[in-house]
């Protein structure tokens, strides 16, 4: 067992996801058992993921509802973070599906009544969950009891009509549950969650999502070009909800409040109906009937085939078989996909890929080579640059309560070059100081070098200070020290980051 945060003792890992692992723990001060989500160590240096993790606490603290997992505390655990939450004893909806594959319609409706109620409160506060799926629905009661669903993992949620932490145009979520308007480049809205709700209802009844199977590119293409196929045995009232939620036009979908009423009615109307036999793996779960003209999707963009970025998105998807994806602009402004962690989903053998996806993929495969050549031309070093070795940088340093992260760097050659990178929230304005320090004595041998008023925007979340040159005595070990502060804001904590000692 491992103690963290002063009074919490980790007992057993009970789950994991794209950004962290979940542990059952005990609070020594009260004896009460809790759940603690720890940010993965390899992600702690990424400020966007750290900020998203911190955002989870702020969002869940604002959400007070019986069907939402309550957040109790936020901890610093070394260089990482821990989120203390209520322990929900019944496991996840994904666990129940693994055991039983399909659920009776009345039980599915009862569980999703709670999910819809949680979405009502979230949408009322302008919050879109963005990643609704069985893994993020916890069951408050064990098997055989009245299931109280509790929605969790708002870490990738985005507050509607306010600047988000995700890069503009980013695609966040799990391919099996992504709404077509989000794949098409639109902003997530409450209707996005309603679409995932319909996919989830279908999965509970049939045993797998309607568009699952094959590479992620194929899955995304089916969301755009196909509709779910009605499986024999799905009650009329259930199918009407699925059709309404998974419609391609966001403004024609029901609201979460509508779904609460409809799910409650279905609990009674479907009582006694047995669970369906799981859909065979070789059976198609989608209809090839096209959804209609792309421009008929009200509130969406003009279509994936007319955009510049979907081709690269599809190519990136081909490299992953599933899991939660975060697509964002890289430093050279090309679209890239970062796979955060594998996530098991229902097995399926559907492999049909729409023609539009295939053609977009071919374009994407051709494009990176040209981009790489252009990047090489734009970054060809000058003669002076070649006289220096490569820049060497440590991990970004961050402490709880600070609005920025910093990374000192150095390069060796005719002199010692110093620079520092800083990443901060949009709208921040920061002063940076760099010094070269003797590692043995702690005395500054060069600097301070100043960069005042670095401003961070949506397009410039990372700024560099330097490089400066220093010529200290040879034969000694040195460290680059970067300090930063927010001018005119006494409450904003300053920060310091040090490079590893190096010889020159």
Assigned token pair, 24: 């059952």
**Measured CA angle at 61 (ends 57, 63), to 5 deg:** 120
CA–CA separation, 51 and 256 (whole Å): 28
The encoded tokens of residue 162 equal: 């306010």
- 3-state class of 254 per DSSP? coil
* DSSP run (H or E) holding 236: helix 236-245
Q: Establish whether 435 is an annotated binding residue.
A: no
Backbone angles phi, psi at 278, to 5 degrees: -55, 145
Preceding peptide of 448 cis, ω within 30°: yes
432 burial via Cβ count (<10 Å: 0-12, 13-18, 19+): buried
SS3 363: helix
CA distances for 326 relative to 67, 147, 215, 313, 317, angstroms? 27, 32, 16, 11, 11
Q: CA angle at residue 61 from 56 to 66, to 5 degrees?
A: 105
Residue 162 · residue 128 · CB < 8 Å? no
b/e per residue, 318-346, with b = 16+ CB within 10 A?
Answer: bebebbbbbbbeeeeebbbbbbbeebebb
The position carrying tokens 């009502």 is 120
Are 448 and 459 within 8 A, CB to CB? no
CA 174 – CA 156 distance, rounded (Å): 11
Tell me how far CA of residue 127 lies from CA of 131, 254, 286, 289, 467, in angstroms: 12, 17, 30, 33, 42
How far are the Cα atoms of 66, 170, 330 from residue 356, in angstroms, in the given order? 44, 21, 25
What phi and psi, each to the nearest 5 degrees, are found at residue 294? -60, -35
Is the separation of the CB atoms in 424 and 457 below 8 Å? no
What are the distances in angstroms from CA 344 to CA 103, 194, 201, 244?
19, 23, 18, 27
Annotated active-site residue in 131, 153, 184, 193 = 131
Active site residue 236: no
Sequence-ordered alpha helix ranges (H) in 287-400: 310-317, 355-378, 383-386
Active site residues: 131
Q: Which residues are annotated binding-site positions?
A: 37
Q: Which residues are annotated binding-site positions for ATP?
A: 37
């Amino acid at each position: 067992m491992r103690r963290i945060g002063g009074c919490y003792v980790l007992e057993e890992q009970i789950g994991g996801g794209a950004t962290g692992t979940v542990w059952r723990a005990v609070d020594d001060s009260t004896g009460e058992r809790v759940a603690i989500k720890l940010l993965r160590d390899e992600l702690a240096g990424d400020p966007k993921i750290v900020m998203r993790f911190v955002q989870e606490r702020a969002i869940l603290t604002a959400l007070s509802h019986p069907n939402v997992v309550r957040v109790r505390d936020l901890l610093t655990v070394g260089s990482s973070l821990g989120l203390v939450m209520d322990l929900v004893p019944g496991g996840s909806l994904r666990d129940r599906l693994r055991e039983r594959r399909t659920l009776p319609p009345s039980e599915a409706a009862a569980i999703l009544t709670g999910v819809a109620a949680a979405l009502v409160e979230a949408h009322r506060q302008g919050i879109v969950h963005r990643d609704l799926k069985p893994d993020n629905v916890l069951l408050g009661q064990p098997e055989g009891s009245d299931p109280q669903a509790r929605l969790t993992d708002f870490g990738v949620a985005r507050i509607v009509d306010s600047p988000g932490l995700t890069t503009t145009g980013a695609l966040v979520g799990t391919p099996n549950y992504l709404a077509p308007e989000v794949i098409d480049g639109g902003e997530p809205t409450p209707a996005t969650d309603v679409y995932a709700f319909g996919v989830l209802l279908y999965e509970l009844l049939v045993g797998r999502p309607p568009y699952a199977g094959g590479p992620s590119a194929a899955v995304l293409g089916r969301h755009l070009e196909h509709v779910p196929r009605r499986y024999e045995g799905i009650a009329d009232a259930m199918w009407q909800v699925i059709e309404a939620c998974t419609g391609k036009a966001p403004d024609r979908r029901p609201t979460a409040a509508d779904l609460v009423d409809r799910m409650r009615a279905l609990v009674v109307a479907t009582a006694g109906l047995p669970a369906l036999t799981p859909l065979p793996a070789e059976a198609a779960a989608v209809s090839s009937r096209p959804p209609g003209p792309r421009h008929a999707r009200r509130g969406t963009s003009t279509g994936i085939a007319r955009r510049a970025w979907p081709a690269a998105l599809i190519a990136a998807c081909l490299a992953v078989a599933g899991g939660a994806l975060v697509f964002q602009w890289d430093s050279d402004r090309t679209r890239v996909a970062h796979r955060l962690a594998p996530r098991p989903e229902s097995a399926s053998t559907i492999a049909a890929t729409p023609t539009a996806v295939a053609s977009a993929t071919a374009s994407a495969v051709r494009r990176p080579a040209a981009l790489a050549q252009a990047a090489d031309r734009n970054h060809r070093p000058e003669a002076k640059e070649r006289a220096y070795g490569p820049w060497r940088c440590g991990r970004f340093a961050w402490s709880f309560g600070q609005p920025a992260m910093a990374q000192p760097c150095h390069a060796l050659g005719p002199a010692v070059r110093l620079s520092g990178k800083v990443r901060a929230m949009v709208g921040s304005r920061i002063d940076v100081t760099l010094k070269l320090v003797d590692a043995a004595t702690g005395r500054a041998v060069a600097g301070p070098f100043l960069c005042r008023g670095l401003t961070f925007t949506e397009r410039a979340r990372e700024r560099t200070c330097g490089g400066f040159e220093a010529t200290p005595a040879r034969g000694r070990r040195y460290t680059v020290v970067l300090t930063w502060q927010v001018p005119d804001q006494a409450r904003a904590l300053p920060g310091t980051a040090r490079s590893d000692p190096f010889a020159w």
